[in-house]
Amino acid sequence: MATGNLSRKTGVIVGDDVLKLFSYAQEKEFAIPAINVTSSSTVVAALEAARDKKAPIILQMSQGGSAYFAGKGVANDKQQASVAGAIAGAHYIRSVASSYDIPVVLHTDHCAKKLLPWLDGMMDADEAYFKEHGEPLFSSHMIDLSEEEVDFNIETTAKYLKRAAPMKQWLEMEIGITGGEEDGVNNEDVDNNSLYTQPEDIYNIYKTLSAISPYFSIAAGFGNVHGVYKPGNVKLHPELLGKHQAYVKEKTGTKEDKPVFLVFHGGSGSAKSEYKEAISHGVVKVNLDTDLQYAYLTGIRDYILKKKDYIMSPVGNPEGEDKPNKKFFDPRVWVREGEKTMSARVQEGLVDFNTANQL
């Protein structure tokens, strides 16, 4: 069982428990879906799916999703809405996660160079929480400097890992650009060669970061693209991940076949065979966002279309002009339909990534 050697078996896990969970995932060849959440509703949908499939889950907030959590009417010129929303979301997730009887990794998504004040603000909150509770508020963060020069990327990531290390906080970094567009970050026009990470870069990162802390993972580019695309339009090469692992093993002299914890970005629309091969090479986390946004919509869309004649006015429907419609337009009714369809799509991912029934 994935929770067999965890000190905390339900709720938000941190530190050594995250390391143990990812190590177990590599051993058993499964990956944990990382679900972008933007509200209590999407949090619930993801947690229900993981509970029902007896699986661990990663809940992550992007910079834009964090701002949405705070409210679109809040100014964000200095990342204040994103900081406040991420902290609020983290406390909410911590409050409810243990009710679902599964381990949850609380993570934040892509933080580009221009968004570093957002990461700084969250780590301020982590350190304050650590001082009071002996653990960081968030299990992990992602710093994404893949658009910058490699040396700057590694040096800056190392600086943040040094800050996270005393809290045993996990840090994910990216090398090699993920194409496409997501959450305001547009890489649709990048050179295709930038989508493929070189093994020398992986080793350089591993060597630098492992000297600081064991709590890190690498999102290596192997042709990944954000968004949904038709099969065949994107050339993924998950076999490159195996070459990265072999190169690091050779250079370090370790006995481990998969010394690096790898992450799969741009997972929406990928073939199941591509997931399976990537996971076999040490991928422990797969990001899912675009597919889930659409899944959430479908439940609400279908409800609205089906109940159209019952939501055109507060009173009056095909059953009578004096019939009340509150039970049809109550947000708890139609929002719930979105939760159901999103949850079903998360469950599908849990099966695809071999995460189901690992608890």
96's tokens: 């409810």
The residue ranges of DSSP E strands in 190-277, in sequence order, are 216-220, 262-264
CA triple 99-103-107, angle to 5 deg:
105
* Lowest-confidence region among 38-47, 199-208, 238-247, 315-324: 238-247
State residue 110's pLDDT score: 92
* Count of CA atoms in the C-beta half-sphere (13 A) of 174: 28
User: Residue 188 — pLDDT band, cuts 50, 70, 90?
Assistant: very low
Average pLDDT over all residues of the chain: 91
Q: pLDDT at residue 12 above 50?
A: yes
* Count of CA atoms in the C-beta half-sphere (13 A) of 285: 37
Q: Answer left, alpha or beta for residue 134, where phi above 0 means left and psi between -120 and 50 means alpha.
A: left
Compute the residue count for the chain.
359
pLDDT tens by residue, 44-100: 999 999 999 999 999 999 999 999 999 999 999 999 999 999 999 999 999 999 999
CA nearest to 184, candidates 111, 120, 121: 111
pLDDT tens by residue, 93-142: 999 999 999 999 999 999 999 999 999 999 999 999 999 999 999 999 99
Q: Are strands 57-61 and 185-187 parallel, antiparallel or unpaired?
A: unpaired
User: Higher pLDDT residue, 336 or 265?
Assistant: 336
Q: How many CB atoms lie within 10 A of CB 308?
A: 11
Q: Is 302 a catalytic residue?
A: no
Q: Residue 291: enclosing H or E segment and its boundaries?
A: helix 290-306
| In the chain, % of residues over pLDDT 70 | 90
Annotated catalytic residue: which of 16, 17, 77, 109? 109
